[in-house]
Copies of this chain bind each other. A is one copy, B any other.
Amino acid sequence: MINQQFKQMLTGKSVIRELSEYATARGREIGYENVYDFSLGNPSVAAPQSFTDVCVNLLQEKDPMAVHGYSPSLGNPEFKQAVADSLNRRFGMEYTAGHIFPTTGAAGALAHALRAVTEPGDEVITFAPYFTEYNPYVAGAGARLVVVPANPETFQIDIDVMEAQVNAHTAAILINSPNNPSGALYTAETLTALGESLRRLSARFGHTIFLISDEPYREIVFDGVEAPYISKFYEHTLSCYSYSKALSLPGERIGYVAVNPACEDAASIVPMCGQISRGLGHNCPPSLIQQAVAQVVDDTSDLSVYEVNRNIIYEQLVQLGFTVVKPGGTFYIYPQTLEPDSVAFCRKARDYDLIFVPGDGFMTPGYCRLAYCIDTDKVRRAMDRLAQFVREVY
């Protein structure tokens, strides 16, 4: 018999995928340019030319056996060193190549990090709203996800609310800043308080509580701010990164786990990730892509469009009377819906060809997510349509 757990998962529907399929189908009817599809978090700007050039050069000039051969089981040494050097230079860290474990994007990074610092049955705390793929990631590690609400005024962490949920089974805290879906960027104040709290809680419960920091949006921050580097605020941190967003390479599956050099068992965690890989069938991200990214590790796509889009949407939402926290980064914004039933709100918006994702899927009904990784021109037209929708329906 086939596996019943995975079979039953087939009956669950992905709201985001359904919305996206609806948008595609509707696009065939009226032209996709007339469907204001804010459902998908797929980068809307091209990878930098430097990345393409480096790939072509590797393919044309380097020995194909070296380009396409197996990576060492703990990853390509040049990539690991380039990542360590870049993080050290930018954030004043002291990583060596040995602290970097290359992975197939942030998903691969989280799959490894969670298994590395939890035992089956342990609890992992995250904050709502949150990216719902955390459920299968944590379940896949055999741990249990405990969801704590973020501060609804700011989407920052409410330390007291978190502390009330920590117990002897808490192995790790899983955070995501800048945040999907809220766009919130955790402030230095939040992170300082979180670090202090985790040190206290670790002492109280007699074991280190690890911080798993999911940060694929780290380079997409607004208002001239640089995102605080989370691992600076708490030594027992595993940073999970992906180049999907900053280099617009989501399909190429490239990212890493970076283990803070001062983390408990820091020397063991990357080699353990190598062991974890064996059971997952992971065996490193693609070798060509590791070698290419190693050469462009500090480049990014032109990410400025996301801030332009955020400004247009935020201003319009405020003008139309929405309650909304101004995003500090990402390409998401997460307003409260104009009626408590966010599914109903999004269904009505859909009649105006506005495709928003109800907050229910992020464990916070009463909100909706707009992913604004789309052309600015379309964003402007969508905001006119949004005004019409609000005027006619609410």
Contact = CB atoms under 8 A, between A and B. Distances in A.
Interface of A: 1-4, 6-7, 9-10, 17, 42-44, 46-47, 52, 55-56, 59-60, 63-65, 67-71, 73, 103-105, 107-112, 115-119, 133, 136-137, 139-141, 171, 207-208, 248-253, 264-265, 268-269, 271-272, 275-276, 278-289
A104 B248 CA distance: 20
Contact of A42 (B55, B70, B140, B248): B70
A251 B290 CA distance: 10
Given A70-B42, A251-B70, A284-B253, A136 B278 contact: yes
Given A140-B280, A251-B286, 16 more contacts: A3-B272, A7-B268, A7-B272, A10-B268, A56-B59, A104-B283, A105-B281, A112-B281, A136-B275, A137-B278, A140-B279, A253-B283, A253-B284, A253-B285, A280-B282, A285-B286
Contacts of A140: 278-281
B59 A52 contact: yes
B253 A6 contact: no
A313 to B, nearest CB: 21
Given A6-B116, A69-B251, A250-B68, A105 B283 contact: yes
Contacts of A44: 65
A105 B279 CA distance: 14
B286 A286 contact: yes
A10 B276 CA distance: 10
Contacts of A10: 268, 271-272, 275
Contact of A116 (B2, B137, B208, B279): B2
A324 B11 CA distance: 52
Each complex incorporates copies of this chain amounting to: 2
A299 B33 CA distance: 39
A284 B107 CA distance: 11
Nearest to A2: B265
5 contacts: A2-B272, A67-B251, A69-B251, A108-B281, A251-B286
Given A139-B279, A275-B10, A251 B107 contact: no
A115 B3 CA distance: 7
Contacts of A110: 281
Nearest to A132: B278
Contact of A252 (B55, B269, B286): B286
Contact of A3 (B47, B67, B69, B119): B119
Contact of A251 (B1, B4, B109, B284): B284
Nearest first, the 7 closest Cβ-Cβ pairs linking A and B are: A140-B279, A251-B287, A111-B281, A136-B278, A107-B281, A108-B281, A9-B275
A279 B111 contact: yes
A250 B7 contact: no
A256 B206 CA distance: 45
